[in-house]
Amino acid sequence: ANILLLNGPNLNLLGTREPDVYGHETLSDVEASVRDLIESAGHTLRAEQSNREYELIDRVHEARDGIAAIIVNPGAFTHTSIALLDAFNAYEGLVFEVHISNVHKREAFRHHSYISGRADGIIVGCGVQGYELAARRILTLLALADG
């Protein structure tokens, strides 16, 4: 199956952005380790990052055609974007929402996510390892659907 790893605004700065909150690994490190996992299970990964809300929405629209699962960290759009939620509502595959930091330990405006009500699973506060955990869960679900 084809899987999409989608990162939202400011996540291109991973590794140098507030490293005490988000760690020292870069987005390419994250993409490489998720790709390894997915590809060694015989699936394919497309990895995208954008700082623009409409581009993230467009990527979710494209995913309606042939993408079985999306791992998404929408960054701050998590807390603001009904438009991105609507795009996920129009998508029928698996959705796993990842937040590197524990948003519930942080400012109140980070506590609400528009995406969580649509997500099949949510991984919060596990650092960048959260992306791998989401990928492992998707591999499990795909294997169950196959067998």
Binding site for ligand DQA (CB under 6 A): 10, 73, 75-76, 78, 99-101, 103, 110
Which residues are annotated as part of the binding site for substrate? 73, 79, 86, 100-101, 110
Question: To the nearest whole angstrom, how small is the minimum distance from the Cβ of residue 129 to ligand DQA?
Answer: 12
Confirm whether 99 is a catalytic residue: yes
Which CB atom, from 35 or from 99, has the smaller least distance to ligand DQA? Answer: 99
**Separation between Cα atoms, residue 90 and residue 32, nearest integer Å:** 28
Question: To the nearest whole angstrom, how small is the minimum distance from the Cβ of residue 104 to ligand DQA?
Answer: 10
**How many beta carbons lie within 10 A of that of residue 145, not counting itself?**
10
Q: Are 24 and 64 in contact (CB under 8 A)?
A: no
Q: Residue 32: CB partners within 8 Å, gap ≥ 6?
A: none
Which CB atom, from 64 or from 105, has the smaller least distance to ligand DQA? Answer: 105
Residue with tokens 């507030």: 18
> Which residues have a catalytic role annotated?
22, 99
